[in-house]
Structure formats: C-alpha cells, structure tokens
Amino acid sequence: MVRHPLSKRANKYLRKFKKWPHSPYKTSWHHNFGEQQAMQILKQATLHMGSSQQPQRSNLLSTLLDSFKAYSCDPTPKAYYFVIQTLTVTSQLQDIPPVLHHLEHMEKFETPEFILVYLIRFYGLANRVQDAVDLFFRIPRFRCTPTVCSLNLLLSLLCRKTECLKMVPEILLKSQHMNIRLEESTFRVLIKALCRIKRVGYAVKMLNCMIEDGYGLDEKICSLIISSLCEQKDFTGVEALIVWRDMRKLGFCPGVTDYTNMIRFLVKEGRGMDALDILNQQKADGIEPDVVCYTMVLSGIVAEGEYMMLEELFDEMLVRGLIPDVYTYNVYINGLCKQNNVDEALKIVASMEELGCKPNVVTYNTLLGTLCVEGDLAKARGLMKEMGFKGIELNLHTYRIVLDGLVGKGEIVEACLLLEKMLDKCSFPRSSTFDNIIFQLCQKGLIAEAMELTKNFVAKSFVPGARTWLALLLNSGSGLEYSETTFSSLLGRN
C-alpha cells in the first residue's frame, strides 16, 4: 500500500505545526476571574476587620487597592460601592472623603450615578445636609453625568426640614448649569414636600408652573393637594373653594376620596350649603355619593338651619337606594329636634328599629336634650327607662342633660338622687349645675343635705364653684351638727 503524503490540512494537527491560542493572561475570562478574586479578598478582609478586637480600624481604601493590585487589575465601580456601603454601615464616616478623593482623581472609569446617589441619601438621612449638597455639585468631577434622579433625591431630602427649604432655589438654579432638566417627577417632589409642611398655597403655585411648562395634569398630585388642604388648620373654606375651582378649570377630575375630603372640610368650616354644592358636582360628574357624604352634608345643613333642604336631601338619599346608618339617623333626628318636632323624631326612632338599625346613646341624648329644654320631664323619664330596657348605658352627657332639666324645673330632690347615681359611677356634673343644686337646697332649708352632698363630692376630688361655698357660708348659722373644723376641711379640699 502506498502511503499518501500528509496534506497541508493535516499538518496543522502535528505538534510542531500546532497553533496555540493567545496567552490566557490576556483573555477577558482571566480578567473577570481576577476581579472576582480581588473582590473576594476585599470582602474577607472586611469581615476580618469587623470581627477583630483591635481598637484601630484598618484602612479599607488600602485594602481595596492592594487586593486588586495582587491580581494585576484595576478596582471596579462595584468594589468602590462595596467600600462606601461598608463605611456607612460601620459609621466610619471619616474614611469616606479619602475614598471619594481617590475615586475622583485616580480612577478613569465613569462612576455610576447610583453610587453617588446612595451616599447623598445617606448624608441626608444622617442630618449631614451640607455634605449631601456638596457631593451633588461634585458629581460631574467623578466623570458622571448627573440626572434628575440625583436632583429629585436631594430636593426630597432638603424638603424634609423647614430650615433646609431656603437651599432649594439655589439647588434648582445650579442644576440648570449642570444641564439637568426639570421633569414632571421633580415637580411632584416639590409639591409633595410643600403639602407635607402645610404650604398648600405654594403647592398650588408650583402646580400652575408645572402646567405652564407643558406637563400634563397629574391626578395624584391634585388629590394630594386637596387632601393636604383639608388637613390645614389655617386654610379657610373660601380659600379651599378657590383652589378647588382653579384645579377644576385646569382639568382636574376629582374622585370619591377628593369629594369626601372637600365635603368634610367645608362642613367642619361651617359651610354646609357649599358642601351641598360639592355634593351636587359629584352627582353631575357621574360619581355616586355614599352614605358618608350624605351624612356629612346633612349635618352641615342642620348646622346652618336649612331644615327644608334637610328633608329634601334625606328623601333623595332614600330614592337613590342608600340605606341610612345610625349616624345618618342621628343627624336627621337632631334636625327634627332643632325644629322642636320631637314627636316626629320619636317616630323615626321607632322606624329605625323596624329597619334593623339600633339607636345608640347619641340618639337618646339628642331626644332627651330637646325634651328637657321643653320641660317635658315625663317623656324624658320614659326615655331613660327605655334606654335601660334596651341595654343602652347612660353616659356623662346623658346625666348632665337630665340633671340640667331637673334643676331647671326645680325638681331638686330628684336631681340629688341622680347626683348620687353619678357619684357611684365617678361621673361629675357641671360645676355651675352643682352650685345651682346646692343653692336651691339651702333656699329650701335643707342645709344638712347640702353639706352632706358637698362633702361626698369633695371626697371624690370634685371641685365645686364659688357659689356653693357662698351658699353654705350664708346658711351655716344654726342647727348644723358639723363643726368648724369639718367645714374648714371642706374649704381646704377645694
């Protein structure tokens, strides 16, 4: 057999013709492996420093540089980020400036913004606001292009404290020179901050600037402004309505929560009819009001004495299929009682029970208050018995209402019996009511009873008014079994 000579194609498989690849020390694989090993050494060194009992702290920057030098590679952004995180977590804040200086002047890579953002956030939360501001302005020197992300973070940190707000205008102006364009998110940060510190007026102005710059109306921002506005104590109902109307003109479409907040605020400000207008707007916008909205508007209408509107609105709620709760009924009953229509109010109470809505102590207090003012003590006594049958506990307000009614009609003996019940429950009457009872007891010649009643209440740390002591002094001439020492001790307790 004749052997054919090896072809040139086969020659490359011979050892002397074998072409080896490039040196492994020049591949990306080896480079990445070196970086990984350097990071591992750095982390292990950090753990060792954390567990060591040495009083002096090691220099993490030197550890970083040495670990990467051992593998002939340059430190990575990830390594610097790890070092900065470690320094902040371990409170080695004095070592952060050298790390930043080396990163700024010795490295060549483009520093990722998230590293600087992390440090800005740390400085801000650690009350080192000036350090956070200085680092923000240094961002371009780290071969990093600052974005609205770092700007928004710094603004949110500054807006956390009132004393730092004065720095915001300067930050905004200098950010323009840093080629950072304000975005919609920046306006959100500023508006939220203004709302948080109760500067709603400025928040509205900022919203107008946002619209003028061509940004769309943000529904969440508008809702935040309405919510903050309604929580602000020094904002009047007129001002709130102006803001509401201006935002509506800008295209704001309120939601259920916005309407509820606005109605609640106006009712609290005593503008029940304006609250009714907001309710009508809600219906016109196709948003169904709930029982809470109707109840608040009803209470506002009652407070303004618009009783004709009360009937109309209550009927409208029923027509819409809404089932009144006990709070709604209490508001409606209060409106009837203010019109001295107690009989109709009593019928409502009966209908409540038929519909499965149990009246509570507020319901009966409203009725008792009207009956006692009118002097109809017979019905008032009947209601108190009814409360007992239904297991409704009398509260302090109940006792005071009935007590005032008894005193007003001169039923002093019954008032004293009620006082004793109050004393057993450690409930006290108004000081003026107690004074009136003692005064009338003294007028009827019941000096001993007046003294005993005063002694019992003073023993419970109750403080009678000056009229009680005057009545007792003027009528303590004769027939008393109490010594001067006893009377002086009563005065001393007062």
Q: Which of 284, 315, 346 is the last residue of a domain?
A: 315
Selected residue with higher pLDDT from 46 and 179: 179
The answer on pLDDT for 5 being more than 80 is: no
Selected residue with higher pLDDT from 258 and 21: 258
How many structural domains are present in the chain?
Answer: 2
Name residues whose C-beta falls within 8 Å of residue 307's C-beta, 6 or more positions apart in sequence. 301, 335, 338, 339
The answer on pLDDT for 483 being more than 50 is: no
Q: Does 459 reside within a domain?
A: no
- Name the band, by pLDDT with cuts 50, 70 and 90, for residue 106: very high
Q: What is the per-residue pLDDT for 181?
A: 85
Of 173-187, 209-223, 252-266, the poorest mean pLDDT is in 209-223
Identify whether residues 244 and 284 lie together within a single domain: no
Identify whether residues 309 and 266 lie together within a single domain: yes
- Name the band, by pLDDT with cuts 50, 70 and 90, for residue 481: very low
The values of phi and psi at residue 100, to 5°, are: -65, -40
* Cβ atoms of residues 193 and 159 within 8 Å: yes
Could you tell me the CA-to-CA distances from 477 to 398, 434, 481 in Å, in that order?
Answer: 37, 22, 11
Identify whether residues 249 and 189 lie together within a single domain: yes
Identify whether residues 247 and 259 lie together within a single domain: no
Write down the number of H helices and E strands in the chain.
27, 0
Which tens digit of pLDDT belongs to each residue from 199-245?
777 788 888 888 887 777 778 888 888 888 888 777 788 888 988 98
CA distance linking residue 284 with residue 429, whole number of Å: 49
Identify whether residues 310 and 297 lie together within a single domain: yes
Query: How high is the mean pLDDT of the chain?
Result: 84
Q: Does 117 reside within a domain?
A: no
Q: Which of 441, 394, 392 is nearest to 415 (CA)?
A: 441
The answer on pLDDT for 486 being more than 80 is: no
Name residues whose C-beta falls within 8 Å of residue 400's C-beta, 6 or more positions apart in sequence. 429, 430, 433
Count the alpha carbons within 13 Å of 37 in the hemisphere toward its beta carbon: 13
Q: What is the per-residue pLDDT for 208?
A: 81
Selected residue with higher pLDDT from 8 and 262: 262
Of 105-109, 302-306, 394-398, 422-426, the poorest mean pLDDT is in 422-426
The answer on pLDDT for 55 being more than 50 is: no
Q: Which of 267, 284, 315 is the last residue of a domain?
A: 315
Range of the domain at 197: 183-253
- Span 11-18, average pLDDT: 49
The values of phi and psi at residue 16, to 5°, are: -75, -15
- Name the band, by pLDDT with cuts 50, 70 and 90, for residue 477: low
- Name the band, by pLDDT with cuts 50, 70 and 90, for residue 256: very high
Helix (H, G, I), strand (E, B) or coil at 297: helix
CA distance linking residue 300 with residue 310, whole number of Å: 10
Identify whether residues 266 and 205 lie together within a single domain: no
Which tens digit of pLDDT belongs to each residue from 131-172?
999 999 999 999 999 999 999 999 988 887 778 888 888 898
